């Protein structure tokens, strides 16, 4: 069963997963990834579930990797960093292959791995106040696991610009790029419209659709292995270790050094 990092609510056709780490801005940990997998297990075990909705609260979707946890867990080793990357990549892959329609409902800030969860979802509904950013380069990192899924969504140049620019992208701009499917003040209404269609499609057909489209795209085992290796290399570098340690110990960001 899911733990305390998420809250679940469900109807016959919809499983809603609320990211529930408000004190840490819904940052991503191994425990959160495990709870998301348990939630997806629950959706797959339900014969009536058609939609899985992932959302945050209080203006935060997810701020991505929990840097404080990474710093205190010895993130400077290749093995630990690669294991963490592999776990996160596995979650994103599952979102793109599960035989349920996955929706990210973004109301506020999505950064780093939070953008990855959105990009790996089948649909993204965002409120006008939502912002999307990839700040990893500010730490000397790259969004290695996010990029294969973001490029699939928005194309090479826009993903490249978000990575190198690091500045937040507003909801309307994200919609123009394809990261967001609809900007709305009432995302629940958008969900209801989607559910009307999704409830008529068998789960096996959803899985078949995802599997076939997966064959048409570049995300391969080699791509995934490269993402894991590069993330491990970057996380084990001395400058990155120092920046993360400073943040974990003192809450000091790299640009405040």
Q: Show the domain range for 12.
A: 6-186
pLDDT of residue 71: 63
Instruction: Assess if residue 75 is contained within a domain.
Output: yes
Instruction: Assess if residue 39 is contained within a domain.
Output: yes
pLDDT in tens, 157-194: 999 999 999 999 999 999 999 999 999 999 999 999 99
Instruction: Assess if residue 238 is contained within a domain.
Output: no
Share of the chain above pLDDT 90, in %: 77
Instruction: Assess if residue 249 is contained within a domain.
Output: no
Greatest mean pLDDT among 78-87, 142-151, 230-239: 142-151
User: pLDDT band at residue 118, thresholds of 50, 70 and 90?
Assistant: very high
Collect all residues with Cβ–Cβ distance below 8 Å to 56 and sequence separation of at least 6.
18, 19, 26, 62, 106, 107, 108
Instruction: Assess if residue 89 is contained within a domain.
Output: yes
pLDDT of residue 185: 96
pLDDT of residue 28: 96
- CA atoms within 13 Å, Cβ hemisphere of 34: 9
What are the Cα distances from residue 33, in Å, to 39, 46, 203, 254?
Answer: 10, 20, 23, 26
Instruction: Assess if residue 239 is contained within a domain.
Output: no
Overall domain count for the chain? 1
CA 43, CA 47: separation in Å to the nearest integer?
8
pLDDT of residue 131: 98
Report the CATH number that the domain containing residue 158 is assigned in CATH: 3.90.226.10
pLDDT exceeds 50 at position 75: no
Instruction: Assess if residue 196 is contained within a domain.
Output: no
Instruction: Assess if residue 252 is contained within a domain.
Output: no
* Closest C-alpha among 186, 145, 195, 149 to residue 16: 195
The tokens describing 101, both together, are 């329609």
pLDDT of residue 34: 96
């Amino acid at each position: 069963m899911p733990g305390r990092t998420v809250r679940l609510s469900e109807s016959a056709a919809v499983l809603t997963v609320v990211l529930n780490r408000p004190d840490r801005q819904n940052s991503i940990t191994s425990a959160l990834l495990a709870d998301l997998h348990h939630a997806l297990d629950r959706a797959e075990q339900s014969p009536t579930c058609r939609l899985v909705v992932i959302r945050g609260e209080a203006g935060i979707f997810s701020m991505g990797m929990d840097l404080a946890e990474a710093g205190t867990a010895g993130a400077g080793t290749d093995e630990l960093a690669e294991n963490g990357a592999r776990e996160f990549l596995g979650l994103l892959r599952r979102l793109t292959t599960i035989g349920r329609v996955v929706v990210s409902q973004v109301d506020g800030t999505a950064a780093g791995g939070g953008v990855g969860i959105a990009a790996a979802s089948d649909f993204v509904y965002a409120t006008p106040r939502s912002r999307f950013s990839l700040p990893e380069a500010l730490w000397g990192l790259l969004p290695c696991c996010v990029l294969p899924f973001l490029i699939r969504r928005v194309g090479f140049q826009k993903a490249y610009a978000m990575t190198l620019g690091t500045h937040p992208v507003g909801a309307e701009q994200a919609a123009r790029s394809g990261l967001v499917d609809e900007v709305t003040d009432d995302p629940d209404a958008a969900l209801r419209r989607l559910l009307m269609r999704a409830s008529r499609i068998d789960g096996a057909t959803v899985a078949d659709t995802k599997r076939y489209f997966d064959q048409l795209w570049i995300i391969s085992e080699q791509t995934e292995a490269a993402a894991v290796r590069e993330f491990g290399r970057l996380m084990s570098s001395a400058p990155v270790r120092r920046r993360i340690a400073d943040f974990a110990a003192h809450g000091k960001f790299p640009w405040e050094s």
